[in-house]
Amino acid sequence: MLDCDEFYQLLQKNDIDFFAGVPDSLLKYFCACIFDYSAENKNIIAANEGNAIALSAGYHLATGRTGLVYMQNSGQGNAVNPLTSLVDEDVYSIPMLLLIGWRGEPGVKDEPQHVKQGKITISLLEILGIPHAILPENMAAAEKILGAAIHDVTEQSRPYALIVRKNTFAPYTLKNIPHDTFRLTREEVLQIIIKHSDPDDIFVTTTGKTSREIFEYREALNQEHNRDFLTVGSMGHSSQLAMGIALSRPDKSVYCIDGDGALIMHMGALAVIGSNQLPNFKHIVLNNGSHDSVGGQPTSGFKIDISAIAKACGYKTVLQAVEKSELEEKLKAFRSKNGPAFLEIKINKGARKDLGRPTTTPLENKNAFMQFVQRH
């Protein structure tokens, strides 16, 4: 395995000192190392991977230096547009180093939402014309590969991708841990929301631990999972998925349970929801100020006023809650108001270490959900 400190110093030695990206579970140890050692203006946790490409391009335009963009391979989709229409050799020809976590690598067991992206990770880079190499787990070999990558980036003035397999980086403990001041946990909040729901309510839950905790709570209650659509992938798109359902079933209350990182990733969805004024749309955002599922790296969730943004986008009802008693009171008002309604709940980050994963497949979840939505 690669020592995170040593690899970070190796990048510094090669004049790579600007970082931008979206944290990834395979890169979480190295991302933590970057967070500890980089100045605040030299490590930007971007809203999405396309933004990170643009940030690195801007850094190059201002300094002539090369930046590093980190992402999970699922983020390649978000990055395709600026990779092809901004930094490509046929356009502005801007150099940058890409560090891509390879979830769903063929032959390596992973979750279903990563399988397809894992299969096409290499071929997508080839289609985009981006040279690439797998980052070795040995430091001497990694130094050689990195040297070749930086030489190509410099000489050809183009992106170069280093692909990171599972367990490439050795464990690293984040030192500069942001302290939470909120008492509610995500799991506790989800249980309260379910307890205050009606049997006919429809739920769309965002990617990550939110969907996992909803699934486990339904199991504990011996309830079916057919009214929950578990968005196990497609980070940032749950609210538009829920909106599509709400448009088609105006007689049902449709709840989107979102996260701050997912919301920020595609924040333009708020404007579309607000402008359509759907009375049955209920949007709940669990704001823990972090990318909790991939290492707890901070988002800008606690630095911006998410509720004010929702209000400015046209949500008819906008509420906030921090304490349990306050949450239960706000939920009653939230449920009775016409939408689009927005409830931001500020919570602590973290989850149970024994938290499981859905035991149903995405296809089974889809079929059961469709039967519930279309027959009730």
Instruction: Encode pLDDT of 72-122 as tens digits.
Output: 999 999 999 999 999 999 999 999 999 999 999 999 999 989 999 999 999
Q: How far apart are CA 305 and CA 99, in angstroms?
A: 31
State which H helix or E strand residue 107 sits in: none
The token duo for 151 is 């030489």
Tell me the per-residue pLDDT of 241-290, one tens digit each, with 9 for 90 and over. 999 999 999 999 999 999 999 999 999 999 999 999 999 999 999 999 98
Q: How far apart are CA 153 and CA 371, in angstroms?
A: 52
CATH superfamily of 4-164: Thiamin diphosphate (ThDP)-binding fold, Pyr/PP domains (3.40.50.970)
pLDDT at residue 179, rounded to an integer: 67
Going by C-alpha positions, the residue among 150, 168, 167 that lies closest to residue 159 is 150
pTM: 0.93
User: Given a cut of 90, is residue 343 above it in pLDDT?
Assistant: yes
Percent of the chain past pLDDT 90, that is, above it, reads 86
Read off the pLDDT band of 184 (50, 70, 90).
Answer: very high
Tell me the per-residue pLDDT of 297-324, one tens digit each, with 9 for 90 and over. 889 999 999 999 999 999 999 999 999 9
Average pLDDT over residues 345-367: 91
Domains 4-164 and 186-375 share a fold: yes
User: Given a cut of 70, is residue 205 above it in pLDDT?
Assistant: yes
Every domain of the chain and the residues it spans:
4-164, 186-375
pLDDT at residue 356, rounded to an integer: 87
Average pLDDT over the chain reads: 94
pLDDT at residue 294, rounded to an integer: 82
Q: Starting at the earlier edge strand, list the strands of the sheet with 132-134.
A: 43-45, 19-21, 67-72, 96-101, 159-164, 132-134
pLDDT at residue 351, rounded to an integer: 83
pLDDT at residue 178, rounded to an integer: 67
Read off the pLDDT band of 296 (50, 70, 90).
Answer: confident
pLDDT at residue 362, rounded to an integer: 93
User: Given a cut of 80, is residue 35 above it in pLDDT?
Assistant: yes
Which CATH class, in words, describes the domain spanning 186-375? alpha beta
User: Given a cut of 70, is residue 6 above it in pLDDT?
Assistant: yes
List C-alpha distances in Å: 325 to 184, 256, 289: 11, 22, 22
Average pLDDT over residues 151-157: 97
N-to-C CA span, the chain: 53
